[in-house]
Amino acid sequence: MKTVGRGMNANAKNVYNRTALHYAVAGKNKEAVQLLLQRRVKVDQKDKHGITPIHLAAWFGSLDILKLLVQAGAEQKVENEDGLNIMHCAAMNNHTDIVEYIISDLQMKELDKEDQSGNRAFAQAAKNGCVEMLEMLMDTYDMATMKGDTPLHLAARNGHLDAVQLLLQSFDTRDEVNMDGETALYQAADHGHEECVRALLENTNWNILISALLPEKCSALHAVSERGQTSLVQLLVKYKANTDFQNQRSQTAMHLAAEVARIEVVEMLLKSRVDLTLKDRQDKTVLGVAARANEVIIVDMIIKAERYYAWREVRNKPVTSDTFTISCVPRFISRGHIQLAESTLMLLDVHSKRKKKTHSSGTSLSV
């Protein structure tokens, strides 16, 4: 570094428009920074992304270097091309000491503003799972971004369980939807963050969360079923997600799972007693969808499930009416359940004989 004092250009830039000061700050090399500042380098030089050395000091948590840059006259309100200032950079990396310095020493609360994505410091902390930063800023924050995402959305979407739990403990806002119609639960499920989904279901009005839908009328169950995320499917079914809800194309979660051969998901949904008669906009039941996709295993599973459902329908309902029993027969035949139809007719015959026997016994007693 001492060669800087022997005629070298301390403000020389590389292809990224970065100077030696950028690298000294990013490397947290306080001695090098001091030497460069003594050579009166440009402290506000921006690289190709609009990042200045003071951004890097806040980003990497170098409070001493940040103070040196401030003393050297660095612009404290400078923003990069994404609208990030030093408070954003510190908050999203959990550097509480730097945020404290900005607020208490520099008295620059005005830096707590939205970046170009509509995120303030608290939202950035939630998005990046910075629990200590959230605790520090907790008292005055629970606002949505310009896209309608609350801090809970951001933490859940990015799978930061500790941040999700802290936000659930601290705020009552839990089932809001953003501008895309997504709840925090949907975002957590859509990104495959099972523990965050579980935390949301255990600590919120899960009935509202599960029934919340996107503009395309897709539920969280649709998303995880199509991708074959069995553990999330099991979790949502456990909390009574509506397995028969149809999206804008009239597809149930079962339609989506059957079409892309999610065998384990299909098995779970069949066990939850889905309605196999529902049709999509192409007039296809789940059986038709599986057959069209040539998913032989799933076709077999659905046929067996249909037979089982039909058998349970007869078994669980007392035969108090011949009309009821007879009305079942054409339905069973139309579904291809010939043996079940024959069994039903046999049951009807037995029931009829019992009625005659009872009637006959009653007559003899009255004589």
- The whole-angstrom separation of Cα 186 and Cα 190 is 6
pLDDT at 215: 45
Q: What is the mean pLDDT of residues 154-165?
A: 90
Q: How many independent structural domains does the chain possess?
A: 4
CATH at 249: 1.25.40.20
Whether residue 44 is found in the same domain as residue 112: yes
Is the per-residue pLDDT at 178 higher than 90? no
148 inside domain: yes
Residue 362, domain member (yes or no): no
What integer is the mean pLDDT of 110-131?
91
Last residue of a domain, one of 116, 144, 176: 116
DSSP string, 244-285: T---TTS--HHHHHHHTT-HHHHHHHHHTT--TT---TTS--
**Mean pLDDT, residues 154-183:** 84
Residue 310, pLDDT score:
80
The parent domain of residue 267 ranges over 242-314
Same-domain status, 322 and 310: no
- Written as one letter, the residue type at 159 is G
Rounded distance between C-alpha atoms, residue 21 and residue 33, angstroms: 6
Which residues are CB-contacts of 195 (< 8 A; sequence separation ≥ 6)?
159, 161
Residues 37 and 108 in one domain: yes
Residue 18 maps to a domain: yes
Mean pLDDT of 181-210: 81
Q: Is residue 226, in this structure, part of any structural domain at all? A: no
Cα 245 from Cα 256, distance rounded (Å) = 12
Query: Do residue 51 and residue 92 come from a single domain?
Result: yes
Distances (CA, A) of 343 to 304, 315, 338: 16, 11, 9
Q: Is residue 7 part of a domain?
A: yes
Mean pLDDT of 88-101: 96
Per the prediction, the chain carries an average pLDDT of 83
Domain boundary residue among 190, 212, 234?
212
Answer yes or no: do 264 and 296 share one domain: yes
> Do both 38 and 48 map to the same domain?
yes
367 inside domain: no
Q: DSSP code of 233?
A: H
Within this chain, do residues 84 and 2 fall inside the same structural domain, yes or no? yes
Question: Can you tell me the distance from the alpha carbon of 237 to that of 224, in angstroms, rounded to the nearest whole number?
Answer: 11
347 shares a domain with 336: yes
pLDDT at 328: 52
Tens-place pLDDT, residues 20-72: 999 999 999 999 999 999 998 999 999 999 999 999 999 999 999 999 999 99
Residue 249 and residue 324 share a domain: no
**Does the structure show a pLDDT above 90 at 351?**
no
Looking at the structure, do residues 309 and 322 belong to the same domain, yes or no?
no
Residue 176: its pLDDT value, please? 81
Is the CB of residue 8 less than 8 Å from the CB of residue 31? Answer: no
228 belongs to a structural domain? no
CB 236 within 8 A of CB 224: yes
Is 105 found in the same domain as 2?
yes
Residue 132 and residue 84 share a domain:
no
Q: Which of 195, 212, 229 is the last residue of a domain?
A: 212
What confidence tier does 367 reach under pLDDT thresholds 50, 70, 90? very low
The answer to whether residue 98 sits within a structural domain is: yes
The answer to whether the pTM exceeds 0.75 is no
